[in-house]
Amino acid sequence: MPPPPEDDGSSSARTPLIPPTPPPPGRAVARLHPLPLLVAAAFAASCHLLVAPAPSYYRSLFLSLGSNDTAAAHLHALTLRPHLAGTEANARAAEHVVSALSSLSFPTRVVPYSVLLAYPVHRSLSLSAPGHATTPFALVQDTYPGDPYAAVSAEAVPTFLAYAASGSVAAEAVYANYGRPEDFAYLAARGVDVTGKVVLARYGKVYRGDIVINARKAGAAAAVIYTDAKDYAAGEAFPDGPWMPPTGVQVGSTFKGVGDPTTPMWASSEGCERVSVAEAMATDDMPGIPALPVSGRDGEAILQLIGGDVAPKDWQGGDGSPVYRLGPGPAVLNLTYIGNETMATIQNVISVIEGKEEPERYIILGNHRDAWTFGAVDPNSGTAALLELAQRFSELQKKGWRPRRTIILCNWDAEEYGLVGSTEWVEENRAMLTSRTVAYLNVDSAVYGAGFYASATPQLDELLKEASKQVQNPDNETHSLYDLWMASDSSSMIKIGRLGGGGSDYSAFVQHIGIPSIDISMGSVASMWGLVALRLSDEEILPFNYSTYAVELENGAIDINKRLLGVPVSSSPLQKSIAEFKRAALQMDSEMKTRKVWNPWRNNPLKVRDLNERLMMTERAFTDREGLSGRPWYKHLIYAPSLHDDYGAQVFPGVDDAIQMAERTNTSESWRSVQHEIYRIARVINQASQENYLVIVNKKT
């Protein structure tokens, strides 16, 4: 694969850029605490609109426009039928999104891609053991009495694991806890041979694809993954409560890569180069063995017939569960899975609100549309929020608002299969997005419980906190979303996660091209989402703060230092680069605070643009063209998924990968690789410092 072209700021030939459920009706919508709207409106009127209202006026107005009814109507329309990627039902859902956005007079288009998806053709699983009759499992999720969607539920895809290998296996069962590398290492240490066996593992700690791949690497012939009651049934089950019912099954993808498997590292555009389906299915990112998901009830039935040594205490189930044993056998699982891996068309929906002063600078908001079943929470609570937010933006336009920078609304497809739609779009528009994008704001599931949670690249931490103080808690009119956020953690401290995991569509933006990003869920999401977007789109100087980033780098280095005690590796280059970055970040933040009080550049848009350019591009400096060793798609050297858990966010992933290898092999060459990775990180941090220092050097000019 040739390196990406140098960016000239031009658009690609196909660019689309230029022409539990939302709160019930009656719940209070979020509103801004200060700045009464009438005062701002009266001021604008007194000026006879000769002077445009300040951005703060439009932010106040935006927060006053929330409509639970609008969001609820969109959610109902989107979730009438199961709508898996590549199906007619999902195409219908795309039509609803297009219609909703087009009705607001926003230029909107569908961007299709042909990608490799997988669907089940045949599945069967039975359990046998000496002295016991063979038990065939139905592999069906029961509906509940009075379920209004019972009939249409038949349209849902049967329970399966996408991209699992086709085949039949009959072998003794081995229990492998959560299916992590350390779990298989424990089995090996206890003399439990996994080779040729069917591994039974439970969801809960790592990505399901990692579970199956770990089983394959341990020599297993097939894998079964179940939802243990201890982790997923700790209270009242659906529909009476939020917990998994006895026959509930977690389906999902087992592909460890990102994007279309037939176009690794490049976009799945029309007429492009592709690897064959057989080649795509044979890569190490695919599970490579047959696998099926089963319910907690079926998993417990299997565990009751597994013998051998008693599993450790932390491998056991909750109260009332049988004693879990390691095996192998005498339980025998007979598993068959036949899948259909086929090229299918997916549809991203892209809508543009063009900016006035800086139309070539983009604030991108994204949410995916496809779902394994109905998608009421994941993802269509987020889709409904996106459409409700768009309605508010349209109302602002009617009041005279036009964003300073362009806002792009994106509704992705095939996220569930491996972040496919967003990844292909980013890969196709990589050069343009790298040069023009200010930030990406992601929402997967808007609401699915109490509290508010957010993850971000660190320069956006303060913006999130400030915005949350202005949004009302939808469940308590006397408190802000910030208060709810504080209460969401027992330590009464704001905790912001990081975007190193591969769990949603921010992945391509952060980990592939280095775009500052946010991922939020729960609470008054549309208000929070839109308020952050308005501040990023309308403020003259971008509200970024890199001091927090310096603290994050320092914390990551502390962990690395602990792991390097007593080994022939020096972390000095990393320490020096972080210290330099911290000095640059503090100076930049001080400069930013000064300019908020007195800005000598108000009549010099070129100076403002230069400052914003460097604020925007600092995150790009953390990327490296070669990517992580052995994982070249991941270009960001600060944040990427853990090597053994695609959902887990890892700081300094290249160093972590190298340390894990060195700890296993303990060779001089492996420790030299660790040292090399430390130097690589030091270089990109130094590069980021230079982006910051260039602002400081020019501050008096």
Amino acid found at 686:
N
Which residues are catalytically annotated?
415
pLDDT tens by residue, 210-240:
999 999 999 999 999 999 999 999 899 999 9
Is residue 15 predicted with pLDDT exceeding 50?
no
Q: What are phi and psi of 623, to 5 degrees?
A: -95, 155
pLDDT tens by residue, 135-152:
999 999 999 999 999 999
Q: Strand runs (DSSP E) across 196-237, as ranges?
A: 198-202, 222-226
Strand partners, 442: 366, 519
Residues in the chain: 701
Strands 198-202 and 222-226: parallel
What's the pLDDT at 647?
A: 85
Which phi-psi region, left, alpha or beta, contains residue 566 (left: φ > 0; alpha: ψ -120 to 50)?
A: left
CATH number of the structural domain 55-107+354-458+496-538: 3.40.630.10
Which among 473, 652, 475 is positioned nearest to 571, based on CA atoms? 652
Three-state secondary-structure class, residue 250: coil
CA distance 338 to 187: 29
SS (H, E, C) 641-652: EECCEEEEEEEC
Chain-centroid distance, C-alpha 469 = 24
Q: Could you tell me the fold of the domain covering 546-692?
A: Transcription Elongation Factor S-II; Chain A (1.20.930)
Q: Strand runs (DSSP E) across 130-245, as ranges?
A: 132-136, 161-162, 167-175, 198-202, 222-226
What's the pLDDT at 491?
A: 60
What's the pLDDT at 605?
A: 83
Is residue 115 predicted with pLDDT exceeding 80?
yes
DSSP secondary structure of 1-16? -PPPPPP-SPPPTT-S
Q: Are 283 and 262 in contact (CB under 8 A)?
A: no
CA distance 664 to 659: 9
Q: Are 677 and 621 in contact (CB under 8 A)?
A: no
Q: Domain map of the chain by residue range?
A: 55-107+354-458+496-538, 119-342, 546-692
Is residue 25 predicted with pLDDT exceeding 50?
no
Specify the DSSP class assigned to residue 51.
Answer: S
CA distance 335 to 340: 17
CA distance 408 to 351: 6
What's the pLDDT at 53?
A: 84
Q: Are 685 and 677 in contact (CB under 8 A)?
A: no
Three-state secondary-structure class, residue 498: coil
Instruction: Tell me the longest C-alpha to C-alpha distance in the chain.
Output: 90
Tokens linked to 276: 């064959």
Q: Are 531 and 481 in contact (CB under 8 A)?
A: no
pLDDT tens by residue, 151-188:
999 999 999 999 999 999 999 999 999 999 999 999 99
What's the pLDDT at 692?
A: 64
Q: Are 543 and 536 in contact (CB under 8 A)?
A: yes
- Among the ranges 8-22, 57-71, 79-93, 439-453, which has the highest mean pLDDT value? 79-93
Question: To the nearest 10°, the Cα dihedral for 104, 107, 108, 112?
Answer: 180
Angle at 476 between CA 21 and CA 445, to 5 degrees: 25
Q: Does domain 119-342 have CATH number 3.50.30.30?
A: yes
Tokens linked to 1: 């694969």
Q: Are 459 and 544 in contact (CB under 8 A)?
A: yes
Three-state secondary-structure class, residue 117: strand
What's the pLDDT at 33?
A: 37
